[in-house]
Amino acid sequence: LALPHPPSPSQMAHLRRLILRPFTAAGHRLQLAYEEASGLKGVLDRHREVRDTRQELEVIREQRREATERLRQKQEELRPIRARIEGMQRSDPRFPALVSEEQAAERKLDECKADFERRDQEEREAFEKLTMAFNASHVEERAYAERTKYWGVAASLLGTAVGLLGSFILSYQRTTGFAVALEQQSKRHHEQITELQHEMSSRLKSEASEETSTHVETTQTARVEFLSAVGAFSSVLSLLIIAYKSGGFG
């Protein structure tokens, strides 16, 4: 059986993109939601507007410089024609051609002036638009800073409340655990004391029963000895009476 070939780096990269695509989309949605909620989206939009307006202004300024250069060139082209006309007699056959050339140069100069004025007006409008975009961006940034400050205060209060709640829960758990441990320890001590009391009670009962039996035996022994002594005394007394009666003490 032929072993399967390992996947190529491009296949591995494609597989990695397929695996990470849902997480990337979810992260993008979370980022957009955060930007929308915090006001960062407005700030980014204003910055983008400022950047686009600045680029537009740079393009218009470049066009204005080109229009200025064309106007200067047309003015330079018209100056020698006018100098030649001023130094030429009207009766000269070249005079009408120079006048026609002057008129054509003046028309081109007027076109360049109109183009320059249009570019200059566009530059002014773009500069005003850029100024307005800057002002709007600054306003949006200040609003975002204020909103961020409020969010920070709210987050600090929430964090403090969560910390206090966590400390209370930990303290409650510790107190409850200590109370349970103390109750268990007291219960064990009570059980030990109860067992000790039972043991002492049993021991005292056994000792009392032993003392009682010993006392009974002693009493019985003393009674036997007393009865024996009484019997012996009675025997001696009987012998003395018999002897007396028989005159043994004479």
What is the distance between the alpha carbons of residues 204 and 158, in angstroms, rounded to a whole number?
Answer: 67
- Flag whether pLDDT at 85 surpasses 90: no
Contact 38, 151 (CB under 8 A): yes
What is the distance between the alpha carbons of residues 122 and 63, in angstroms, rounded to a whole number?
Answer: 10
What is the distance between the alpha carbons of residues 221 and 229, in angstroms, rounded to a whole number?
Answer: 12
Residue 206: phi and psi, rounded to 5, are: -65, -40
- Flag whether pLDDT at 249 surpasses 60: no
Give the mean pLDDT of 181-190. Answer: 71
pLDDT at 11 (0 to 100): 67
Percent of the chain having pLDDT more than 90? 20
- Flag whether pLDDT at 250 surpasses 50: no
Poorest-confidence range of 50-59, 65-74, 108-117, 194-203?
194-203
pLDDT in tens, 203-228: 777 765 665 656 556 666 666 566 66
pLDDT in tens, 1-45: 444 566 677 766 767 777 777 767 777 777 777 667 767 788 888
Could you tell me which of 112, 42, 40 has the C-alpha nearest to residue 76? 112
Give the mean pLDDT of 151-170. Answer: 86
Contact 12, 21 (CB under 8 A): no
Residue 124 host element (H or E): helix 95-245
- Flag whether pLDDT at 70 surpasses 60: yes
pLDDT at 213 (0 to 100): 58
Contact 46, 136 (CB under 8 A): yes
What is the distance between the alpha carbons of residues 122 and 59, in angstroms, rounded to a whole number?
Answer: 10
pLDDT at 2 (0 to 100): 47
Say which DSSP state 2 is in.
Answer: P
pTM above 0.75, yes or no: no
Give the mean pLDDT of 189-196. Answer: 74
